[in-house]
Structure 1
Amino acid sequence: MTDLRRAARLLRERVDGEVRFDAGSRAAYSTDASNFRQVPLGVVIPRTIDAAVDTVAVCHELGLPIVPRGGGTSLAGQCTNEAVVIDFTKHCHRLLSVDADRRRCVVEPGIVLDDLNRQLAPTGLRFGPEPATHPNCTLGGMIGNNSCGATAQRTGKVVDNVVSLDVLLHDGTRFRAARLSEHEYDAVAGRTDRVGEIHRALRRLRDQHGDLIRTRYPRIPRRVSGYNLDSLLPEHGFDVAGLLVGSEATLVTVLAAELDLVPVVRARTLVVLGFGSIGEAADAVPHIVEHEPIALEGVDQYLIRDQQVKGMNPDALAELPEGTGYLLVQMGGEDADEADRRAEQMLRALGTTDHAPDVAFYDDPAREHELWQVRESGLGATAHVPGKPDTFEGWEDSAVPVDRLGDYLRDLRVLYEEFGYAGDTGPSLYGHFGQGCVHTRVPFDLYSTEGVAAYRRFLERAADLVVSYGGSLSGEHGDGQTRGELLPRMFGDEVVGLFEVVKGLFDPDDLMNPGKVVHPAGLDEHLRLGGRWAPKRLRPLAFGFPDDGHSFTQAANRCVGVGKCRQLTHDGGSVMCPSYQVTREEEHSTRGRARLLFEMLDGHGDGPITDGWRSTEVRDALDLCLACKGCKSDCPADVDMATYKAEFLHHHYRHRLRPRADYATGFLPSAAMVIDRLRLAPAVNRLTSVPALRRIGTRAAGLEDREVPRFAPQTLQRWLRTHRPAREAGRRGTVLLWPDTFTNHFHPEVGVAAVGVLESAGWGVTMPSRPVCCGLTWLSTGQLDVARARVRHTLRELAAHVRDGGLVVGLEPSCTTVLRSDAVELMPDDLDARRVRDHTVTLAELLTGHTEGWTPPVAPAGVSALAQVHCHQHAVLGWDADRDLLERTGIEVERLESGCCGLAGNFGFTAGHGAVSEACAEQVLLPRLRAAGPGTVVLADGFSCRTQIHELDSGGREAIHLAQLLDNLSAERPPGYRTTTDP
């Protein structure tokens, strides 16, 4: 038995990297995006490529198996193993060189595809293959799986775009794998070391079995199954690099890769074709392929329905033509005219066949991007669909010849029906139809022994079906453990025997990702669930978890491993996951935290986390969760880590003392009420403005030493008591303006401005006269008993107003989110909680959706603004109404793709979080503010966002609330005018 303590000690002594054999790290890497789970021995995160070499050397010395890992999104179990995981993504992600003239570059394996292409953008070149996971997949992982994506229609698979690989064997042998001319082969084969031995053996294998390989390998563009023995054939130039691409870390560790690049397509046009069924759409594919589209994707009505149910891509779905099966055909050209012309030629030719479709034609890049999201959202859209059973991988990427695709889809549907997997709701069929590749997720029952047995029988039958069509078990995602056992059905025993020979040449001790592809574990072994999975019962819960059957177990099992939370940018206004973007740590991604929560359930009885709610590993992983709620909207599986964190902390600290910061920030509303009642604001402000006293106070409270927000000398509630309403106020009725703690006690000028705007729009304004709070600070710190009491008090204060149909206007996005979402989740059976949810609106929603005939004030010409949208507004409330309202003022507004500001309520104030908080702000927000013109207005409705900008923006820029902007325009003050004086 391996002495893991000794292994960890030797690795720390000899490797320049982060060596982690702790329970939390092992739990975070226990699975990928597949059905399988194997807890690793440990994790090594090398700081350099040389450190990765040293890692392998120590593992070889100790006889430890290894798994080099990229983005961890593999769908067949390639990235999960009882081995030492080598994660390249945190440090080994450099673009080493670019030769634009030769259209080549050299990269380290941890570089993310989108990051690579961003760096290549000035050259006009890019790496061609682009899987749907392009924001977070790495080149090392793409090479391991021989990835493809929609762009493979034009550029081919990864194997078609790799020039050479710098590879390492488990025994430390390192060499350059490449396509070799006869002269180059003779030089390598003449060596007396292992490199020469391997090349000579590969040449013998090719010469002796070339005809067998040609016979048994399907001649289709999407054959990804098996080792690429065909790359050794003379017609492919004895390409050893090609052989190693797609070997799924079972042969070598890739240390660097030289890649071919392709020119960026200058102009694209998208045509969406609607057909009577997905089979009819597939029948038309061969006729479209003749016109050389750069992408050709298929989507059926079940995928569309899943996205509609989950509220995904609504604008794009509304643009689809008539039909129940769709083809997305993208044409490219040097300019828009050429792309359009090629699309029109394709449509004219298609009209002369028996496959005339309904057509929607797009040449607006923004609209094309939205429609493309319909296809790229496939995996997430088909997971955890309300009203449908859970779906799983297993048969998600088979491929057949394009001229047989329609018949294959029809027969596959029959097979679904035979096994009881088909119905009025799917499963959906979609994929890269231009190359015959079909994606699907099947509602296997992986919770019972009988269901697992049916899963096995189905995969065996499906394998026989695709082979009968001359196809491949895998057309993109690889074999791993899901399909490794089925390879003899596709290739025959003799070719699989050649795979074993190759495995023996490169990895005679079976220490490279054992149990995958060659000598594979059974497709029903190491299941993440399975008939014997028996998670701990964790009750009673504080939240209701209504979308998960009131089960924390189901909530923790939501993550399907797609890894969108690991993307490094905020493209499209996404927020998830700010802590990962700063740390690049798996356990600080939404996915990593979900994995730890899953392991906390200890459903297999052999997991690394055994102490349930008391787990320090889970607590530490959740510590850097900002509770921004970005995952609530951005995660395709609807993981809501902010709620999971609050639930966990509630139980973790139950009947125990909490960290001091939880009391200091959690009870802030109570403290603010006392300070107001005793008129202590001026004294408190004077004390906290003295640096020495502030440092003593923040340290005692467990807080970061940062500027303490100043209490207003008069609260909003006090101001309203003496306020004389405007003459036009009340003609539309009365709204209740919610006096959240932050507006009421710190920034009442925001509320004053809101009252002015509301009254000028014809609304009367009322407000609770007694101190109130929504419970946000107790929610975010997991003090849920107190939070529930506060929410209950709030509901009593609002009940009469909302029962009469009155609207509640929220100004602070985080507090408004509590009224719109958290309160119901905390008290799911409370009718008043639902009424408050349904009657709570933002200021922009009230003015655009409930104030008919009102015209917003118009800004002077040339006014521009930057908008930092609060995370909770992005995730729950939405910003569409704000965008519409701002457009009507004539202001040119740029919504910053900055994600979370980094303060996130109590997060940025808690000791130990300062560096991460500031790093979040430095990603996009602060640099963009520094680059903005001096007259640019900065909009930030969130108190946290305004506070972060106030403290960290070196230019001294101050942000204002939407209410202040509108009030300024009405009063003909400068749009960015801001006052902090006594209202």
Structure 2
Amino acid sequence: MSERRVAGYPRHRRIGDSRLARRLAAGVVGEVRFDAFTRGRYATDASHYQVEPIGVVLPRREEDIAAVLEIAREEGLPVIPRGGGTSQNGQAIGEAIILDTSKYLNEVIEYDATARRVSVQPGVVLDRLNARLKRDGLFFPVDVSTSSRATLGGMAGNNSAGSRSLRYGIMKDNVEAIDAVLADGSAHRFAEVPGNLDDTSLDPRVLDLVQGMRALAERERDEMARRIPKVQRRVGGYNLDSVESGGHNMAKLLVGSEGTLAFFRRLTLPLQPLPSQRVLGVCHFPTFFDAMDSAQHLVRLGPSAVELVDRNILEIAGGIPLFRESMKRFVRGEPDCLLIVEFAGEDAGELRDRLGALDAEMARLGFPDSVVTAEDASFQQEIWEVRKAGLNIVMAMKGDGKPVSFIEDCAVPLDRLAAYTAELNEVFARHGTRGTWYAHASVGCLHVRPILNLKTEAGARQMRAIHEEALDLVRRYEGSHSGEHGDGLARSSWHEKMYGPRLVDAFEVVKDAFDPDETFNPGKIVRAPQSDDRTLFRFKPGYADQGPAETVLDWSAWGGFLGATEMCNNNGACRKFAPGVMCPSYRVTMDERDATRGRANSLRLALSGQLGRDALTSPEMRETLSLCVGCKGCRRECPTGVDMARMKIEATAQYRKVAPLSARDRLIAYLPRYAPLASRFAPLLNFAARLPGLGAAREKLLGLSRHRSLPAWRSDRFRPDVAETSRAKSADTREVALFVDTFSAYHEPETARAAIAVLEAAGCRVNVARPDDGGRPLCCGRTFLATGLVDEARAELERTLTVLSPLAERGVPIVGLEPSCLLTLRDELAAVLPGRAAEAVGMQAKTFAEFLAQEHATRRLDLPLNALPCTSAYLHGHCHEKAFGAFGAVKTVLELVPGLEVNAIESSCCGMAGAFGYEAEHYEVSMRMAELSLLPAIRQAPEDAILVADGTSCRHQIADATGRKAHHLAVVLRDSLQGAGAA
């Protein structure tokens, strides 16, 4: 037996050590960050724990790993490997030097499609790897729900599983070899080792480890047989049971070691052929017990996955814009829960037969006509997105009580699943709470999170009591207390109760053989602190709101500004690379600071006083939020509803209390107020803007990029008070209020005129919304909001609300042209001016496309459209259109043009984002955002294709970068009415 060391979490008192930071910076090529804001961002993962690291290193090359380890060893400091930071039990946090591999060490090193094998660096993200493999009909099958941001190194460290583990196994079953660096700096390959070691070419260090592990495993064989659960989903402790004297793979021992034994430099992975056909059957159940009892029978049909979605997820997801519409397609009635059953193979006919067998089996079990089938791939994807987002969906609960991960993925034999879950629900009830359930019914591993308030001592006591009783249940049902998400801080201290003292001693022998000085991730798996130590919690004793006494926006729905930031559970959906909306700046920089999660953590720490006095208004916070483009992607795509765009408005407004407005900010903010005067001097201003050398002067004096063309002022500005109102006066004609924004009125008036022409042609009576005094046009206040001048925005919105509220009360649709302006009425208006009037206006506010699409859906739209000279259109969606689910309407309406093929570009933010792309310091990032997908697609579009973009900024970005002109939907429809080409 090993000599027991004192369990606990090490304290090194070197946090933020500047001397250490300088030494590391001199020794590595990568980035070294020891500032308080970075340490705060890396203090958390997707668990309820928070431990501030000593500092963070982002290695740029593999040699940096050895360099950091050498310095850490000499300084007597620990090191923690980190990938996507999505671990749910506190694995990737600690008082150590964090080595984040996700930014730079993310290359595919070798790939052999014929041999079905790939070698990758640890920072490679699963979805990005599978996207590359797909063209060869291959994939890596450990399909974790966080696949859009989970790194292969992290997955190997945690021994991850996934929805299809029933067919493909877990990570331990899918790693051939690991090239790793030990704490002494030596690099070794850990792979298959034969039984006879006499003729092997193993280096002495690896040979010593192999011999030691075989001797230890042989000694503890009987104890492992007695104490280790016989379930597939057992990932607790070390995989000592994988070691065999007759031959074994040393990589399997390293898998699941959570960075405590070695630093993974490369992983060699076997690949699987991608099934050409998949079908889903969504089984509806009236009770949770029925679903759990039925799982064992459905598994006998040979599915590749059987996944649970419970009532909590169904109810919460139904209120999330991203999922609302798709759920209407596959949820029938009001089931208590669903089991999503997937069959995969090559023969479509055979898979349909298996769906038929599923329907018959459900009828035999007493649930006839309860299966919704999905054969279309896109429909299946919608269903899987709801299931994969299950964790974040349940975390969307507002308030101090949150579903907490600590017994989340206990696994029991499938035939005992129903009884186990029933008893566990009774445990929750005894402790005055309830649990949320989802995940892998096929292998008896359900993710359950009791709802607790860990801001209180009582909540921590509740957690420990539930943990004790749950573990007793798991042992009685011969299951595993750690079935997928690993040990970390949440479960390591419970190993002795699960495995007994003899095996815990054996785990310590493993640790000491690989890492005798505890350099790697101390306090995990062995010698761990107590899981309910509140000093390790995110909400530590004394945690309290220390933010501003008064906020400028209404945060009451979240319990305050701090409560809104706490909605981020750190699961990292904002770190995805898919061409959706969220998060465009992270996709460019791949920096934790620029992910929504990184910003939310910084705000939470500042508001709770953990970053020091005045952190909210500090230059560091300003820098943290600088690349947030206000795209609203997080509002839609973050399942917990983190709205960073609104948070940035609040933080900028607070900053304005201590910092003066720059000349550039003043120029941007007050545009709606000086626009009427500026338009009178349009020829002079436009001429001046084109003068040689003015761009350079403008950049020097105002910080507006010399590479940008400024929007042209128009002398023929839109004048709603001079013959611009509708000529359709019939009383029975449908009334529409047209909200003409500043940009459409003074820079592109043809858009407003085109919209009036189209609405009139559709039989509408157009009422151009304007103040009774005939003064300045109405304004949404967005330029003021963007610069933190919320009082000025409030004044504009009060004027606007006065005009629009009576229209909204009468049910008149309020139609807008510029998505960001119109959708401000649906979103920020109620935060600036809470009340019924704002809510009524928000309900009636519709984009131009939304209104026409609704008219078309109700068969009231009768537009005499004609074919255009060109036959194809390429459509880019404004971020706010996508965030508010309005982009589909643009495509729907555009497709009404006869003979026009509409190609929706899979693009994220165009990069302009209002004034963002004009700012000199952001020009490069702006262009990199555009180059991700938008600009390449525009360049590949045929020369005669119509380019369509409803956003003014989007059209300017396309014009500046490609020299091609994009048009608003209203202009295209007007030209179609006239039978002309888009001008």
Q: TM-score range by the shorter chain?
A: over 0.9
The partner residue of 2:833 within 827, 835, 849 is 827
Measure how far apart 1:95 and its partner are: 0.8
Whether the aligned pair in 2 keeps the contact of 1:27 and 1:609 (CA below 8 Å) is no
Kindly indicate whether residue 363 of structure 2 is the aligned counterpart of residue 363 of structure 1.
Answer: no
| 1:967 match | 974
Counterpart in the other structure of 1:263: 273
> Which of 863, 868, 875 lines up with 1:867 in the alignment?
875
Q: Match for residue 55 of structure 2?
A: 42
Q: 1:201 matched to which residue of 2?
A: 212
Q: Identify the range of structure 1 (873-882 vs 385-394) with the bigger mean alpha-carbon deviation.
A: 385-394
Residue 87 (1) aligns with residue 94 (2) = no
Match runs of 1:748-767 below 5 Å: 748-767=749-768
CA distance in 1, matches of 2:824, 2:243: 61
- Partner residue, 1:981: none
Q: Is 1:15 equivalent to 2:15 in the alignment?
A: no
CA displacement 1:494-547 (0-9 Å, x = unmatched)? 111111111111121222111112111211220001443223142200000232
Of 622-631 and 870-879, more deviation after overlay is shown by 870-879
1:292 and 1:804 map into 2 onto residues whose CA distance is 57
- Which stretch has the larger CA shift, 377-386 or 561-570? 377-386
- Indicate conservation of the 8 Å contact 2:402/2:451, yes or no: yes
**Separation in structure 2 between the aligned mates of residue 416 and residue 859 of structure 1, nearest angstrom:** 64
1:655 CA drift (Å): 4.1
Alignment of 1:877-888 (within 5 A): 878-888=886-896
**1:290 to partner: Cα distance:** 2.3
TM-score (norm 1): 0.94
CA contact 1:110–1:140 (8 Å) conserved in 2: yes
* Cα offset, 1:470, TM superposition: 1.0
Give how far 1:706 is off: 2.8
Q: Does 1:155 align with 2:168?
A: yes
Q: 2:143 aligns with which of 130, 138, 141?
A: 130
The CA deviation at 1:657 is: 1.6
Alpha-carbon distance change, 730 to 918 in structure 1, aligned in 2, over 3 angstroms: farther
Aligned residue among 480, 490, 503 for 1:495: 503
**Shift, 1:674, TM fit:** 2.3
Mean Cα displacement is larger for which, 26-35 or 577-586? 26-35
Tell whether the 8 Å contact from 1:446 to 1:531 is kept in structure 2 after alignment. Answer: no
Query: Aligned to 2:189, which of 173, 176, 196?
Result: 176
User: In structure 1, what is the equivalent of residue 9 of structure 2?
Assistant: none
Aligned to 2:692: 691
CA deviations 1:813-845 (Å, max 9, x no partner) are 01012111111111114x432332222221123
**Deviation of the 1:338 alpha carbon:** 2.5
Query: 1:806 maps to what in 2?
Result: 812
Letter of the 2:526 partner, please give it: V
* Cα separation, 2, equivalents of 1:466 and 1:792: 59
- Which of 584, 597, 607 pairs up with 1:601? 607
- The RMSD of aligned alpha carbons is 2.1
Cα–Cα, structure 1 residues 731 and 748, in superposed 2: closer, same or farther, change >3 Å?
farther
Per-residue CA deviations over 1:541-586 (Å, capped at 9, x if unaligned) read 000023212x01101111011111001121xxx2010000000000
3-state SS in 1 of match to 2:526: coil
The one-letter amino acid paired with 1:546 is S
Which deviates further from its counterpart, 479-488 or 798-807? 798-807
The Cα of 1:645 is off from its aligned counterpart by 0.9
Alignment of 1:714-725 (within 5 A): 714-718=715-719, 721-723=722-724, 725=726
**2:854 maps to 1:849:** yes
Shift, 1:312, TM fit: 4.8
- Judge conservation of contact 2:719–2:745 (CA < 8 Å) in 1: no
Shift of 1:797: 3.6
- Cα deviation, 1:204-260, whole Å, max 9, x if unaligned, reads 10121122112211111111111111111347x322110110111111110000001
Selected match of 2:467 from 459, 462, 483: 459
Match of 1:416, SS state, is helix
* Partner of residue 340, structure 1: 352
* Number of matched pairs: 957
Q: Residue 321 of structure 2 contacts residue 885 of structure 2 at CA under 8 Å; is this kept in 1?
A: no
Of the candidates 87, 95, 111, which is equivalent to residue 98 of structure 1? 111
Aligned to 1:372: 384
Partners in 1 of 2:755 and 2:557 — Cα distance?
35
Does the C-alpha gap of structure 1 residues 349 and 718 become closer, same or farther in structure 2, counting only changes over 3 Å? closer
- Structure 1 residues 758 and 731, CA, compared in 2 at 3 Å: closer, same or farther? farther
- Where do residues 116-127 of structure 1 align in structure 2 (5 Å cutoff)? 116-127=129-140
CA distance in 2, matches of 1:273, 1:62: 57
Q: Give the secondary-structure state (helix, strand or coil) at the position aligned to 1:309.
A: coil
Distance (Å, rounded) in 2 between the aligned partners of 1:184 and 1:702? 68
Query: Given that residues 188 and 199 in structure 1 are in contact (C-alpha distance below 8 angstroms), is that contact kept between their aligned partners in structure 2?
Result: no
AA in 2 matched with 1:635: C
Q: Is the 8 A contact 2:359 2:369 kept in 1?
A: no
Match of 1:901 in 2: 910
Compared CA separation, residues 508 and 204, structure 1 to 2 (3 A): same
CA distance in 2, matches of 1:325, 1:895: 35
Tell me: CA distance 1:302–1:804, structure 2 relative to 1, closer, same or farther (3 Å).
closer
Match of 1:439 among 434, 447, 455: 447
Secondary structure at the aligned position of 2:973 is classed as: helix
Could you say what secondary structure the match of 1:441 adopts? strand
| Equivalent residue number for residue 534 of structure 1 | 544
Alpha-carbon shift at residue 299 of structure 1 (Å): 1.9
SS of the equivalent of 2:542 reads: coil
Q: Is 1:228 paired with 2:239?
A: yes
Q: Which moved more, 1:918-927 or 1:273-282?
A: 273-282
1:628 is the counterpart of 2:628: no
- Compute the displacement of 1:698 (Å): 3.3
Could you tell me which residue of structure 2 aligns to residue 552 of structure 1? 561
1:957 and 2:964 matched: yes
Question: Secondary structure of 1:98's partner?
Answer: strand
**1:666 and 1:777 in contact (8 A); partners too:** yes
List aligned pairs for 1:138-153, cutoff 5 A.
138-153=151-166
Structure 1 SS opposite 2:449 = coil
Identity among equivalent positions (%) equals: 36
How far off is 1:24 after superposition? 1.8
C-alpha change, 1:659 and 1:391, in structure 2 (3 Å) is: farther
Deviations for 1:384-430, whole angstroms, at most 9, x for unmatched residues? 335894222222211111111111111111111111112xxxx3212
Aligned-pair CA distance for 1:857: 3.9
Task: Please state whether the residue corresponding to 1:429 is helix, strand or coil.
Answer: strand
Cα–Cα, structure 1 residues 653 and 185, in superposed 2: closer, same or farther, change >3 Å?
A: farther
What is the CA-CA distance between 1:104 and the residue it aligns to?
A: 0.9
Moved more, 282-291 or 92-101: 282-291
2:397 corresponds, among 385, 404, 408, to 385
Q: Find 1:472's aligned residue among 451, 471, 480.
A: 480
Q: Please say if residues 275 and 357 of structure 1, whose CA atoms lie closer than 8 Å, have aligned partners that are also in contact.
A: no
CA distance in structure 2 between the partners assigned to 1:27 and 1:741 by the alignment = 41
1: CA distance, partners of 2:730 / 2:180: 74
Q: Quick one: which amino acid aligns to residue 845 of structure 2?
A: T
Q: TM-score, normalised by structure 2?
A: 0.94
Match of residue 212, structure 1, among 223, 242, 245: 223
Aligned to 1:239: 249
CA contact 1:869–1:940 (8 Å) conserved in 2: yes
Aligned partners of 2:278 and 2:344 also within 8 Å:
yes
Query: How far apart are 1:599 and its partner, in Å?
Result: 1.3
Structure 2 vs 1, CA of residues 725 and 30 (structure 1 numbering), >3 Å: closer, same or farther?
A: same
Q: Which moved more, 1:784-793 or 1:133-142?
A: 784-793
2:119 partner SS: strand
Between 306-315 and 131-140, the greater mean CA deviation after superposition: 306-315
- In the alignment, which residue of structure 1 is the partner of 2:6? none
Aligned match of 1:618: 621
What is the match of residue 642 of structure 1?
645
Distance 2:54 2:662 in 1: 32
Provide the C-alpha distance between the structure 2 equivalents of 1:417 and 1:112, rounded to a whole number of angstroms.
39
674, 677, 695: which one aligns with 1:674 = 677
Change in CA separation of 1:230 and 1:729 when aligned onto 2, cut-off 3 Å: farther
Runs of 5+ consecutive residues of structure 1 not aligned to the other structure: 979-983
> 1:837, 1:716 → 2: CA distance?
27
Question: Which digits, 9 at most, give the CA deviation of each residue in 1:253-286, with x for residues without a partner?
Answer: 1000000111101101111122232222222222
User: Quick check: 586-595 or 783-792, which moved more?
Assistant: 783-792
Distance in 1, matches of 2:706 and 2:683, equals: 21
Is 1:328 the counterpart of 2:340? The answer is yes
